[in-house]
Structure 1
């Protein structure tokens, strides 16, 4: 569940790991786990028509302790926590400014990705993320109102924290996008300035 994921991220931070690559259990077609989940009716996507979803970064099945969409969001939450600004600064003090900047840049990419996925899941009706977000959770009745669930403690209802999480995803995505644009503009202007000096 979410607590297990958070513990794994905290452990990676505690040993000063340089990188973290979260991965979602991916039941590849032809494997025993895929066959088992198909028999239990827990696959959201199937390899025959949704092969591009089987990349270890997308939820493809129905977990027992959180919805498929919550699992997808936990993937990004783990990356965002590990590649946070504070962690970038800490890593910069330990291993140098360049390393810290790279660490934080990965965090910006992660935040942009999370925001983009949330927007697709909310508004892009033809997308796989929209399908994932709006797939009824198979275990909603058994896990209803479990306090460990992120975003939606009671399936079908959103609490204040869940709404805040969704709004924050949009804000983080917008900020990340602006930073990327500013970086590109800065590089272009710098190149133009150097070209102008050479011409003079």
Structure 2
């Protein structure tokens, strides 16, 4: 174990232990003490995307492009350090996005799927979601994706992934409207790098 990591762990344990002891003593004296401690305030996590994972993600995006019947572009996803993030994908046909999901998972994105906006809003209430991907049409509701994007405007990035971005027009609340797997991955990576 690296000495720096060991020192950080020991210091963190001492600080947390000291705070815990102080809270226990205050509570024993009858004080109404409320304290919150967020590890996220102290640490940030970066994960190194290995060359092997980047290559597997590239293969998954190429498979998605091929499945969509588009000319497979030859792009490479570069290995790099990035912060893991949870992505919510709302689509009534999630199996249509298997390869795109695999690519995002290989890039350190934890993909949670919902098939309707009601479930999506429940996930958003309960989980720390960094970005939403949505389709436009779900079942008989041709505006489901537009409505969800508008509802989330300003709260977090929304990427609309649709069959034809050219005909989708402007989608209020959407950070990007894309129709190709490479564009999807690029948008997600770009938007999450900002947050």
TM-score normalized by structure 1? Answer: 0.21
Select the structure with the greater relative contact order (CA < 8 A; seq sep ≥ 6). Answer: 1
Hey, which of these two has a bigger chunk of strand by percent? 2
TM-score normalized by structure 2? Answer: 0.21
- State the structure with more CA Rg: 2
Hey, which of these two has a bigger chunk of helix by percent? 1
